Structures are given as structure tokens and as C-alpha cells.
Amino acid sequence: MTATVPTITPSVDSHTLRRWGPLAGLAAGAVVLQVVFGASENFPARWDTTFAAPIDDAGNWLRANRQTHPVFTGFFTPLRTVVDAIINAFTDILLWLPWYAVLALAAAVPARVRMYRAAATIVGALLYTGLIGFWEETMQTLALMSTAVFLAVLIGLPLGVIAAFRPGFEAALRPVLDVMQTVPAFIYFLPLFMLFSIGNVPGTVATLIYALPPVVRLTTLGIQSVPESAVQASEMYGATPRQTLFKVQLPMAIPSIITGLSQTIMMALGVVVLATLVGAKGLGSPVLQSLNQRRTGRGIAAGLAIMAVAMVLDRMWKSAAERDPLKRHDRRTLLGVLGAILVAITIGRFASVDTFPEVADWTLFDPVDDGVVWIRDNLRWVTRTFNDTLVTYAFLPARDLLSTTLAWPVVVFVTGWACWRVKGLGFAAFSAASLLFIGLIGLWDEAISTLVSVLIASALALAIAIPVGIWAGRRPKVEAFISPILDGLQTIPSLVYIIPVVIFFTVGVVPGIVATILYAMVPGVRITALGIKEVSTESLEASRTFGATPRQTLLGVRIPLAAPTIMAGVNQVIMMSLAMVIIAGLVGGGGLGFQTVVVLKDSEFGLGFEVGAALVLMAMILDRFTEAAADKMQPHRSAT
């Protein structure tokens, strides 16, 4: 009797195949594409003039017909007149009022609901702008900002309401808002200059376009977040849909809407400086002047004035949303205060003491320049080493790898593969098509240069933001200490950062990266701290119960559970880094940022469209990729 020995045939485990199969496909595809296309030249710019030429023709038509065509005389010219009249009305009122009346009226808004700390902040902020000689410029900026915010509410509120009730409209509106928020304000200036000529109007409209999305989005979110029980209760009492909207949903959505307005103010102030390039008045002029003169102290002085405007508008809007009713005697007190202010205005106008007294000017900050020069001269071994190391060992190798060493089809294929693994075939196809479009319009090298700068700046910003955010999330006192610093970094115009950075590192790619780090790390710190704080107490107590040390609890519980929120911070850091592309271009950063400067300088409409499209597509790829990565980190919920 003989036993039959079974034949063992090797088989590939299905788990192993699922794990290593995609990586093998990636490696094989990359190698094949590199072999086939490695000897080819740069990306063939097949469509270099396909889009640019018609848009350039449209720009030439605008130049030739903006004075006579009915589209201008019947629409754009009257619109410019209306917007200009609103700005002038705000400006005339603010400059006509005595300076102390402006302080008193602005402080009265939060004081009426007992927000005395906010009132004191407003007074201090406005006094600062007057004491350094920027009172008139501050009033001009307040007028421009007030007009932009007023128009943002007038347009954004109805759009947000419609989007809240019509999902199809919201889905169609979302990419439009993405484009508005992603395209650099520089790109808007050229067509707006052609449509509205120079002055405050193009700057205001550019500010409005750039700052409108937060109002729309957070109005929609606020209405959608109203509890269904509140809506049903209103309907049970016989309220019509209109009554429910105005008496229940909108009032309950006010906190979200006010948050949107605060974000609008912060975003709009970033455009105020750039609006000076198309003739807008205000605090942007001294900022650009300080940049041209490389006077760091004066740039800080003007930047702090813009920060003061942000604080004033933010506190006023937040306090205006307070709905706590005043008692009768409080109302009488308020009326008495308003009456006293009116009397003071009358006396000030007749006594000619209505202008802010000349106490000092922005030269008060000139000693800061001496400190910057001392750092430049005595710490050159640090700044020069950092500059050379970053360029030699990070920027140039990464740029050359993606633009020269690897064939362009390899870059497209690897990007599509990564997007497929994160979000699926649809996103992969979109990403690959977007990169092909950027290459075909002749911006491949510029896009690669910009991408490398953005990724380096984002990586360095996150290397600072995540540890600081974890520290702040665990220590409330640390968070309270760094909060005003973060407010300053986010509010002071990024051009102000550039002044000392250029002096330290000279013109090139590094000043743009360093300025981007300072600007982009703020949301990373705040969102990381939020994620750490939101980890449930039960999870932390369970970890301690099992004897985990604080370090083990941090690494094994807090950070893993906060990972999705931290990834949202990564997303915001990357988006903020992309927003700094233009600033980097102004100081020799090259890439798409420099092309944007060329667009405005030479009035190249077609190139402006192509640069804007390339930036939007890059932003959408990076945004969707990080969002999908954050979703994958969400804990899976088991079905119950």
C-alpha cells in the first residue's frame, strides 16, 4: 500500500497581493514610462496659445471699447459710480467726524452689550493708528473694508440661504467659490482695472470676490445646522417657510454667519495692500512704500495699523450680533451717551479740534531697522547657511527631480496613482488631466517650481505648527500666551514679513519660503491644538487606568485620535502656502508667482488666465488629496 504525497503548488496570498500589487504596478509603470520618455525634451506645450490668444484679443477689445460700448456705459460705469459713491460716503463720514467721536461711536457698539474689554480694545487700536500718523489712511481703509463687507453680506447672505435649501445649487456653487478663494487677487486686478479703471473700485471688487466665499459657506452651514426640532416647532405654530427662515433659522445661524464675516475681514485685509497697486487709497500705500525702501520698522508700524483695523471691525461685528436685550435704564444710558457724543461733535467742529493731533509718526519705529541690520551683519553665518542649505539640498534637487530627471509622464502617472489610492479613479483621472492641462499650456516648469516651494514651506511650517499645537492643546496657559502672536501673524500683511526676510536672506526663493512659513503655520497650530483638546476625557482616563505614562498617552491616544483634525490643519497649511505664491514671486521666488507679477506688469490677459487656471487646479488637487487622507484617518464605525 503506497501513500500518495500531495503536490504543494506555491500560491500568492490574496492579502499579500492586495498589499503589494498596487506598489508593484506603480513601480512597473514608472519604470516603463521613464524608459520610453526619459530621453524626450520638456513637456510639449501644445496649447500654449490656444487659450491665451482669444483672451488677449478680449483684453484688447476691452481697452478699445471701455469708453463707448453700451456694456460699459450701461452697466460697468454705473456700477462703478454706485460702488465709488458708497466708498466716498463712508470715507467722508469717518473723516468729517472728530477723531474722538469715531472712537466713542465705535466703542459704543460693544459697550451697549457690556463687552467692555472689546470696547477698550477698539479704543486702543484706533488710538494707535492716530498716534503714529495714520488716522486718515485708517479711515480710508475702514471705508473700503466696510464697503466690501457690506457688499459681501448683501450678496453672500442670499446665496448662502439658497444653497442651504437647494443641494443642487450648493453643489454647483462650490467649485465657483473654490475658484474665487484660490485664484490670487493679482489675477483679478487686471480685468477689474480694465472694467472699472484705477481707483478704489477695482480694489474693493477684488476684495469682495476674494472674501465672499466664507460668508456664503458659513451662512449655508449655519442654516443647515439649525436643529430640526426648532424648525418643526415653528411649522406647528403655523409659521410660513418665510417666517421660519427669518424668525428661527437666520437668528439661530447668526453665530456661524458672524464667524463667516470675521473670516471675510481677515481675508479681505490681505487684499487691501495689493489693492494699492490699482489705485486704492488707505494703509496699503505705506506698506508698499516701506517695502520699496526696505524699512522694516515702518513696515511693522503700517502692518500693526492694518491689524488694528482688523481688531476694530472684528470686535464691532461680533458685538453687533449680541441679542441680549438691554434693560430700560441701560437704554436711557445709551441714549445719554449718544447725546453727549453728538454735543462733543458739534463743539469739536466749531472749535476746529476735530483732527487727530500730531503726536508722532511712523518714524518712531525706525530703531527697529538698526536691529534688523545688526542681525544681518552679525548672524550672517546662520542666515547664509540656512539659505544655502535650503536651496542646495532641498529646493534644487526636488525641482530638478520632478522637472528634469523624471520624465513628465512619470510625474503624471505617480500623481494619478497616489490620488487613486486615496480617493478613487475619478479623482485620479481629474488629477492626471489637470497636470496634462498645465503642461500643455506651457507652464509645466513654473508649476513644478511652485509646487516644490509650497511643499517645502508647508513641511517646515508643519514641523513647527504640529509640536506647538500639541503643546498648546495640552496647556491652556500656553495657548492663551501664543494666541495674540498667532493673531498678529495672520493679520499683519504678508508683505511686512518680506521686508526683514529679504534683508536677511537676499532676493531669491528662500525669502518667499520663510514668509510663507510664518503665514501658513498659524492654522496648523490652531487646528492641531483644537484636535488635541477635543480628545474625549474617557479615552484619556482609560489610558491612565491601564498604567500608561503621560508620554504613552500622548503618543498612543491623543495624537492618533486627533489625527483627522490634524490632517485638516495640514490641508489649511497647504492652502495658505499656495496663497503666498504671489508674495514669493515679488521677491524672486520664480514659478507661477513671478508669472503673475508679469501678468499685471505687462497686462497679459491670456497668461493671467493660464496662471490662474494652473494655480486653481494645483490647489484643488492638494486640497482634495489632504481631505481624502483626513477622511481615511477617521475611526471606522461598526454597524450596530
Mean pLDDT of 139-147: 86
| Amino acid found at 134 | F
pLDDT, one tens digit per residue, over 86-137 is 888 888 888 888 888 888 888 888 887 778 888 898 999 999 998 888 888 8
> Residue 357 pLDDT > 90, yes or no?
no
Percentage of the chain modeled with pLDDT above 90: 10
Per-residue confidence band for 184, with pLDDT thresholds at 50, 70 and 90: low
The per-residue pLDDT for 264 is: 65
CB 423 within 8 A of CB 625: yes
Percentage of the chain modeled with pLDDT above 70: 87
- The answer to the question of residue 512 being in a domain is yes
Count: domains in the chain? 1
Q: Is the dihedral of CA 145, 150, 153, 158 positive or negative?
A: negative
The per-residue pLDDT for 499 is: 77
pLDDT, one tens digit per residue, over 318-329 is 776 665 544 544
- The answer to the question of residue 289 being in a domain is no
Per-residue confidence band for 231, with pLDDT thresholds at 50, 70 and 90: confident
Mean pLDDT of 552-569: 82
- The answer to the question of residue 616 being in a domain is yes
> Residue 240 pLDDT > 80, yes or no?
no
The per-residue pLDDT for 341 is: 72
- The answer to the question of residue 70 being in a domain is no
Q: How far apart are CA 410 and CA 44, in angstroms?
A: 15
For the ranges 115-129, 243-257, 562-576, the lowest mean pLDDT is seen at 243-257
> Residue 566 pLDDT > 80, yes or no?
yes
Report the SS3 class of residue 44.
coil
Q: How far apart are CA 105 and CA 100, in angstroms?
A: 9
Contacts of 384 (CB under 8 A, 6+ apart): none
The per-residue pLDDT for 328 is: 47
Domain holding 396: CATH number? Answer: 1.10.3720.10
Angle (CA) 166 168 170, round 5°: 70
pLDDT, one tens digit per residue, over 449-470 is 999 999 999 999 999 999 999 9
- The answer to the question of residue 510 being in a domain is yes
Per-residue confidence band for 448, with pLDDT thresholds at 50, 70 and 90: very high
- The answer to the question of residue 607 being in a domain is yes
The per-residue pLDDT for 638 is: 40
Q: What is the largest CA-CA distance in the chain?
A: 127
Mean pLDDT of 360-369: 82
> Residue 640 pLDDT > 60, yes or no?
no
pLDDT, one tens digit per residue, over 511-560 is 888 888 988 888 889 888 888 887 777 777 887 787 778 888 888 888 88
Place of cell 534683508: 503
Q: Which residue has the higher pLDDT, 400 or 55?
A: 400
Q: How far apart are CA 145 and CA 142, in angstroms?
A: 5
**Of 436, 417, 468, the residue nearest 573 (C-alpha):** 468
Mean pLDDT of 565-569: 81
For the ranges 13-17, 342-346, 432-436, 571-575, the lowest mean pLDDT is seen at 13-17
Q: Which domain holds residue 550?
A: 379-640
Q: How far apart are CA 557 and CA 537, in angstroms?
A: 11
The per-residue pLDDT for 368 is: 85
Residues 122/127/133/136 CA torsion (nearest 10 deg): 50
Q: How far apart are CA 146 and CA 55, in angstroms?
A: 33
Q: How far apart are CA 198 and CA 522, in angstroms?
A: 34
Inter-axis angle of helices 135-165 and 116-131, to 10 degrees?
A: 140
Contacts of 278 (CB under 8 A, 6+ apart): 189, 192, 193, 198, 199, 202, 203, 206
**Of 521, 517, 516, the residue nearest 482 (C-alpha):** 521
CB 152 within 8 A of CB 216: no
> Residue 10 pLDDT > 70, yes or no?
no
The per-residue pLDDT for 6 is: 52
CB 494 within 8 A of CB 519: yes
> What's the alpha-carbon Rg for the chain, to the nearest Å?
28
- The answer to the question of residue 124 being in a domain is no
| pTM for the structure as a whole | 0.77
> Residue 615 pLDDT > 70, yes or no?
yes
- The answer to the question of residue 609 being in a domain is yes
Mean pLDDT taken over the chain: 80
Place of cell 523624471: 406
